[in-house]
């Protein structure tokens, strides 16, 4: 009896001791990293209280039983693991996250599969880059009812079967990118009612004929070979918010679900617009829908009717084959805020839309559009009716086109004469940011941007542009950032008004030797004068600017070391000069690095001062010497003359 009581007390003490050692520290997260330690086996002296263990980037080939009852996260990625004993994870009752990526799990499938079956609480599993084939993946997904996230990137999957996820129906996020999937059986993803994110990028999918995943919010199908995306029209609500179909072979806009929450649509790097006209593209897309849905005739415009219901705020159509702007289709997106239409083949944006019943040209609007990117389209003409439709535009990127701004006298004419090739920016009353870089602009006339609300303007790389006086009139009080670099401009060509809110100015890569004095009224914080012809800078102007200036780029000029008080002023005001290390100035006999000059300015210009003093003294001596010689000569001459007169007498 006593012996029995003693053994019970001993057991109770042992349990309480364990609770004291582990239980009291349970709230404190404990982790250990053996990352990249050239391990060939799991260390034997691991702390049983570990919550997180990192064994990644080693040479572990086999995994045997782990006795870590509190472990929650285990990282075995980037090893050479190809054999996991059946009981390896049996004692990992709390394990929730397991990373087995970049190993050799395509071997010993029987043992490895059974080992993973024991982890019923697992929430996150990464088996990417293991060379796994279709039949192997199913073995690793058995008994995974708690699984929330699954990553299978970079394996050798070609087909997804309908029963692949039968034991893991709680999945919320699945990533199966960079495989070779060409077939997805019907019913593969539909039963996963909690699925929100699905990534099938970088596979071999050719088409989406009847999209049915009503539960998915984020779908990535980029970098496949998809030619069309079609959804059957029904009254089901689709939760889809983001659809990525970029880098495919689409010829048409996708026919999206009628009832959807789509906000972001990525269609860049496709073949949309390759057909002759927008009307042809829309007609063929609707005919395709009818064919897939086995309708005898196309009864309605499914594409436009569904797009009109979308609450889309972002669409990327860059790197496609558009030769005309799809006005009819895009104008149906009443919530659209951002449009990327760069790097297409537009050349012109004309107002080719169907007329109304009375025969009049209809006026369409983009009521929410704020950001439009039309870079690199070869544009020479933009219809004023299109500009009029941009009622809320704030940012317009026209870089790398051939757009010519209208002169103020031509602006009213251009609005009535639609064949005029120049562009009236004054129509864009809400415009704040305009990029006209690389447009081969010939002339910037007075009042070019009058009536806009420009905050930033980029005119760089218009190498033959003449900027007339008053070109910035009307926006000089709102401009905060101005770029006029690489225009081959001289100081006599540059006339800037007082700009009281200008904080950033780039006049680099020109032929300037003077900074306009009008900038003294600008609260500049950053200025770039690189690669010009400056030998010195105006001291009083620099003193005014240094009150607010934070950053200045000065390299690529040929400054005079001995006329650089401006540099001392900048240095004393602690203005940042990031490129001062590559800036050079010259003295009378050599070139000097600016950094060296700043350390001891007087040394480099002392010789010049002494030389000047010596030169001045020498001049005085010479003058005195000449004076003395002349005096002696005059006296001698007089004496000679007097002697001759006496002799004659």
Mean pLDDT (the chain, rounded): 87
- Same domain as 492, residue 465: no
**Which of 112, 143, 158 finishes a domain?**
158
Specify the DSSP element, H or E, that contains 634: helix 601-648
- Same domain as 491, residue 442: no
- Same domain as 417, residue 526: no
For the record, the structure tokens of 294 come out as 């086995």
432-444 confidence digits (pLDDT tens)? 999 999 999 999 9
Q: What is the DSSP letter of 521?
A: G
- Same domain as 538, residue 455: no
pLDDT confidence bin for 595, thresholds 50/70/90: confident
pTM of the model: 0.85
Residue 129 within any structural domain of the chain: yes
Q: In b/e form, how buried is each residue of 505-531, taking b as 16+ CB within 10 angstroms?
A: bbbbbbebbbbbeebbebebbebbbbb
pLDDT confidence bin for 206, thresholds 50/70/90: very high
- Same domain as 440, residue 512: no
Residue 268 within any structural domain of the chain: no
Highest mean pLDDT: which of 169-178, 276-285, 401-410, 580-589? 169-178
Mean pLDDT along residues 12-16: 41
Residue 272 within any structural domain of the chain: no
- Same domain as 450, residue 496: no
Residue 16 within any structural domain of the chain: no
- Same domain as 509, residue 457: no
Is the pLDDT higher at 231 or at 641?
A: 231
- The number of distinct structural domains making up the chain is 3
Mean pLDDT along residues 321-333: 93
The residue range of the domain holding 112 is 45-158
Mean pLDDT along residues 483-504: 95
251-274 confidence digits (pLDDT tens)? 999 988 889 999 999 999 999 999
pLDDT confidence bin for 11, thresholds 50/70/90: very low
Separation CA 221–CA 199 (nearest Å)? 7
Residue 429 within any structural domain of the chain: yes
For the record, the structure tokens of 48 come out as 């049983």
Residue 84 within any structural domain of the chain: yes
Cα dihedral sign for 536, 539, 540, 545? Answer: positive
**Which of 432, 449, 470 finishes a domain?**
470
**Which of 136, 158, 180 finishes a domain?**
158
- Same domain as 492, residue 462: no
275-320 confidence digits (pLDDT tens)? 878 888 888 888 888 888 876 555 677 788 888 889 999 999 999 9
- Same domain as 401, residue 369: yes
- Same domain as 518, residue 453: no
Residue 627 within any structural domain of the chain: no
CB atoms within 10 A of CB 558: 14
336-376 confidence digits (pLDDT tens)? 999 999 999 999 999 888 766 666 666 789 999 999 999 99
Residue 549: which CATH number? 3.80.10.10
Give the model's pLDDT for residue 606: 59
CB atoms within 10 A of CB 237: 12
- Same domain as 370, residue 417: yes
- Same domain as 131, residue 50: yes
């Amino acid at each position: 009896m006593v012996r029995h009581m003693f053994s019970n007390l001993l057991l109770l003490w042992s349990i309480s001791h364990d609770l004291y050692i582990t239980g009291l520290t349970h709230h404190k997260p404990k982790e250990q990293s053996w990352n990249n330690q050239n391990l060939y086996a799991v260390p034997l002296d691991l702390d049983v209280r570990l919550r997180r263990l990192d064994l990644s980037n080693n040479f572990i080939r086999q995994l045997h039983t782990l006795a870590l009852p509190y472990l929650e996260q285990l990282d075995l990625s980037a090893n050479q693991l190809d054999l996991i004993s059946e009981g390896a994870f049996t004692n990992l009752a709390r394990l929730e996250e397991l990373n087995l990526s970049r190993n050799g799990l395509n071997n010993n499938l029987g043992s490895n599969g059974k080992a993973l079956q024991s982890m019923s609480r697992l929430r996150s599993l990464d088996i990417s880059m293991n060379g796994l084939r279709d039949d192997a993946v199913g073995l690793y997904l058995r008994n995974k009812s708690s699984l929330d996230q699954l990553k299978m990137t970079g394996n050798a999957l070609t087909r997804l079967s309908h029963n692949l996820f039968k034991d893991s129906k709680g999945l919320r996020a699945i990533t199966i990118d960079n495989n070779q999937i060409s077939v997805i059986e019907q019913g593969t993803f539909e039963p996963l009612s909690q699925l929100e994110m699905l990534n099938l990028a970088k596979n071999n999918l050719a088409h989406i004929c009847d999209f049915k995943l009503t539960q998915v919010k984020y779908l990535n199908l980029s970098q496949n070979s998809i030619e069309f995306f079609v959804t059957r029209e029904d009254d089901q609500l689709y939760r889809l918010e983001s659809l990525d179909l970029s880098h495919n072979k689409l010829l048409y806009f996708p026919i999206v679900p009628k009832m959807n929450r789509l906000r972001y649509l990525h269609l860049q790097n496709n073949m949309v617009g390759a057909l002759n006209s927008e009307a042809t593209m829309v007609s063929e897309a609707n005919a395709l829908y009818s064919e897939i849905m086995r309708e005898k005739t196309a009864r309605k415009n499914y594409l436009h009717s569904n797009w009109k219901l979308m609450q889309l705020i972002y669409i990327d159509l860059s790197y496609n084959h558009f030769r005309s702007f799809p006005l009819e289709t895009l104008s149906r997106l009443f919530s659209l805020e951002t449009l990327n239409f760069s790097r297409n083949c537009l050349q012109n944006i004309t107002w080719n839309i169907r007329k109304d019943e009375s025969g009049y040209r209809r006026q369409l609007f983009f009521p929410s559009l704020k950001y439009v990117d039309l870079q690199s389209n070869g544009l020479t003409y933009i219809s004023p009716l299109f500009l009029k439709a941009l009622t809320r535009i704030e940012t317009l990127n026209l870089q790398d086109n051939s757009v010519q701004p209208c002169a103020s006298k031509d602006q009213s004419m251009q609005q009535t004469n639609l064949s005029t090739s120049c562009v009236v920016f004054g129509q864009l009353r809400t415009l704040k940011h305009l990029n006209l870089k690389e447009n081969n602009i010939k002339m910037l006339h007075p009042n070019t941007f009058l009536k806009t609300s420009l905050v930033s303007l980029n005119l760089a790389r218009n190498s033959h542009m003449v900027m007339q006086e008053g070109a910035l009139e009307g926006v000089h009080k709102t401009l905060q950032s101005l770029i006029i670099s690489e225009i081959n401009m001289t100081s006599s060509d540059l006339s800037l008004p007082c700009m009281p809110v200008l904080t950033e100015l780039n006049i680099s890569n020109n032929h300037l030797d003077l900074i306009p004095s009008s900038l003294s009224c600008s609260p500049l914080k950053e200025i770039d004068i690189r690669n010009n012809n400056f030998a010195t800078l105006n001291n009083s102007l620099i003193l005014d600017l240094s009150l607010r200036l934070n950053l200045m780029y000065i390299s690529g000029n040929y400054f005079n070391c001995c006329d650089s008080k401006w540099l001392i002023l900048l240095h004393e005001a602690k203005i940042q000069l990031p490129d001062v290390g590559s800036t050079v100035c010259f003295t009378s006999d050599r070139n000097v690095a600016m950094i060296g000059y700043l350390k001891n300015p007087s040394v480099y210009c002392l010789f010049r001062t002494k030389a000047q003093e010596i030169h001045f003294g020498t001049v005085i001596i010479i003058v005195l010497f000449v004076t003395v010689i002349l005096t002696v000569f005059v006296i001698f001459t007089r004496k000679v003359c007097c002697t001759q007169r006496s002799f004659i007498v």
